[in-house]
Structure 1
Amino acid sequence: MSTRRTAPALATVLWLAATAASAQDAHEHAHAHAGMHADHSGHRPPAGAEETCDDTHRGASTSRPDGRCARRELGGEAAGHLETAHPERRPQAGVEGPRTDALPSSGHVAPPPPAAAMHAMTAAEMIDVMGMDDRASWSLVAFDRFERVERGALAWSARASYGGDVDRFAVRTEGERVDGRAEHADVELLWSRALAPFWDSQIGLRRDFGEGPERSWAAFGVQGLAPYWFEVGATAYVGEQGRTALRAEIDYEWLLTQRLVLQPRLEINAYGKRDPAAHLGAGLSDAEFGLRLRYEIRREFAPYIGVERRQRFGATADYARAGGESSGDTQCVIGVRFWF
């Protein structure tokens, strides 16, 4: 019985002794490490001298101008791996590394100077070289509508222009082709000049062709971007024998997504006097309202589907009914919008 009671007590004593010895060894190791650190910090190289780091394994030494040891900073194994894997990064005698103390706080490094410096120029020469006076010319060809109408007709509305931001030469055309012949169409040649930001004045000529007699008109108009991003255009025409006409258009682009665009559009036409040969009455002649949904595969190319309602009014509607046509109709359209 006495042996069984003594064994646990003896084991407890031995465990306490081992724990005390481990604590003493840890204390001595920490004390020795602190003394070594104090010894190293107390023996700095004199001012102006570089601190060297001897590599006893490789017989080489590396130094840094800022007084810090690269091997002590990285550790012997890390520095050795750096030299082995990246020999181009080894310090070279007489070559200083990049000076980090010269960099701005943001860390941005300015690009190198240009290879060929520009000579001193006057303000006029600088404007000419940099093209800062809006004299640069550019061209554009755009088919806003190129579509197949439900009853088999091919309809289009296109424009082309060339010039600068202030003065431009423009060509506009729109019409409808049925059974291989133009049912009605017109072409306009215009000179466009900027009046104000987003607004241009236009002056030129218009020529009608298709069914009925051909007519020529002088054109005076304005177009631009109205508040809330409405595209607006209005053109007045003066023709032969005192004929006058007015065309107004307005459309809006509603971005459902960055590529899916819904575009409502309204166009109205009015004439100052009756023209029986062209089947046109005086006053409000006709109006078109369309709604088109396009998907811009690219900004320059967008197929679309839509619906359009055309309504004739007054004597123009009477001429249409007399010719066996309806005064108004609604049609589905499918087409593509592109520009370059």
Structure 2
Amino acid sequence: MRRAWLVVALWPFAAAAQEMPAMSGMDHAGMHHADTPPTEPAPATPATPSPVQDPHAGHAMGDMPATHDMGSMKMGPMQGGSAPADARNPDYSDGIAPSAMHGMAMHDMDDTAPSATLLLDRLEAFAGQGGHGQSWEAEGWYGNDANKLWLRSEGEREDGRLRDGDVELLWSHAVATFWDTQLGVRSDFGEGPKRQWAAFGLQGLAPYWFELEATAYVGQGGRTAARVRAEYELRITQRLILQPELEVNAYGKDDARRLLRSGISSVEGGLRLRYEFTRTFAPYVGVAWEHLTGGTADLAAEQGRRITDRRWVAGVRLWF
């Protein structure tokens, strides 16, 4: 009796379920609970159409009208709008046009292509215990990777007069990676008579990026001399550079007219801190000193000159 009443109560819901239209593309026969074994589908019964029909019922996705094509949908304006007038170029070129690849000159691969460089390594004013003045150190070259013509000069003015200076003209020939032999002439000027020398030496880049220069000289009357220089560039930042340097000079014979004795005559050093606004323009400040040794120091003491002189320097480094 209870089962009869249960059937009567559930009958309206079963009838409503039979009247629901089947969704197109859905396999109702394959849908079952994971724990319930599939059963044979019941015979299809005609469904009573509902008052509102699904316009897509019975159609595949390919049969959808063109009004539903995603490609025909119009997108609104992108967020953000136009870039400001001062915005940086997307490729970071800043308006610099690229060079044509077909005309690119591979100078590093062609050791016969000549080029030129002029470096004013020191153009400075100094204030020291022995006086005030100006000094310079410059070098330049023209040639290719194998052979170059070098020009070097250094000197100083003190108390309004030229105290000491020299200029060298050298032919430089590459003998190893980063190393050149040099052969040429040197001329001294300043206080005392001028001296002329034949010069030969070696210049290059030692391990750990030390720049070395060693030159021997032979002059008239059996005079001989030698000069050894070393310097290093310590990059604190990409623009701030600390440059220490050391120079030793020696002579084989006395030259009293130029206030020199045989042996090591002087040891000079410097420590300069420069800031490279560009690679071609770098002002600097620093300290430099000169110490006379041996017989040259004795000769200076006899004449009342200082044996050791420390100077504060300020100048600019230029590269052309």
TM-score by length of 2: 0.70
What do residues 158-193 of structure 1 show as CA deviations (whole Å, max 9, x unaligned)? Answer: 011111111011110000012443110000000011
SS state at 2:73 partner: helix
The alignment of Structure 1 onto Structure 2 pairs a total of residues equal to: 247
Match of 2:244? 264
C-alpha distance in structure 1 between counterparts of 2:159 and 2:214, whole Å: 31
Q: Does 1:144 align with 2:121?
A: yes
Which residue number in structure 2 is paired with residue 31 of structure 1?
Answer: 23
> Partner amino acid for 1:196?
A
* TM-aligned CA distance change 1:226 to 1:290, over 3 Å: same
Identify unmatched segments of 5+ residues in structure 1. Answer: 1-19, 44-52, 57-70, 83-114, 119-128
Q: Which has the higher contact order (CA 8 A, sep 6+)?
A: 2
CA deviations over 1:255-279 (Å, ceiling 9, x no partner): 1111111111000000111111111
Q: Show the counterpart of 2:167.
A: 187
Unmatched tracts of structure 2, length 5 or more: 1-12, 28-55, 78-99
Match of 2:287 in 1: 307
Q: Supply the distance in 2 between the matched residues of 1:251 and 1:290 (Cα, whole angstroms).
A: 9
Q: Secondary structure at the match of 1:175?
A: strand
Aligned with 1:72 (options 60, 69, 91) = 69
Which residue of structure 1 lines up, in the alignment, with residue 87 of structure 2?
none
- Partner of residue 60, structure 2: 40
Whole-Å separation in 2 of the counterparts to 1:267 and 1:31:
96
1:155 aligns with 2:135: yes
The residue type paired with residue 301 of structure 1 is F
Question: CA deviation digits over 1:117-152, x for unaligned, max 9?
Answer: 99xxxxxxxxxx966431111100101111101132
Q: Distance in 1 between matches of 2:271 and 2:58?
A: 84
Report sequence identity in percent.
49
Alignment CA distance shift 1:240-1:54 (3 Å): farther
Instruction: Report the Cα distance in structure 2 between the residues aligned to 1:316 and 1:38, rounded to whole angstroms.
Output: 113
Q: Give the structure 2 partner of residue 317 of structure 1.
A: 297
Partner of 1:135: 112
1:249 aligns with 2:249: no
- 1:162-241 → structure 2 map (5 Å cutoff): 162-241=142-221
Q: Distance between the aligned counterparts of 1:223 and 1:172, measured in 2? A: 12
Q: Which has the higher helix share?
A: 1
Q: Is the 8 A contact 2:249 2:264 kept in 1?
A: yes
- Does the CA-based 8 Å contact 2:24-2:59 persist in structure 1? no
- Equivalents in 2 of 1:211, 1:41: separation in Å? 102
In structure 2, the partner of 1:294 is 274
Distance 1:130 1:259 in 2: 28
Q: Partner letter of residue 143 of structure 1? A: L
Q: Is the 8 A contact 2:23 2:57 kept in 1?
A: no
How far residue 40 of structure 1 moved from its aligned partner, in angstroms, is 2.7
Deviation, structure 1 residue 314: 1.2
1:199-220 per-position Cα deviation (integer Å, ceiling 9, x unaligned)? 1110000000000011000000
Aligned to 2:260: 280
RMSD: 2.9
Q: What is the CA–CA distance in structure 2 between the aligned matches of 1:323 and 1:145, rounded to whole Å?
A: 29
> Is 1:333 aligned with 2:310?
no
Correspondences of 1:33-112 after superposition (within 5 Å)? 39-40=59-60, 72-74=69-71, 76-78=72-74
Cα 1:42/1:213, change in 2 over 3 Å: closer
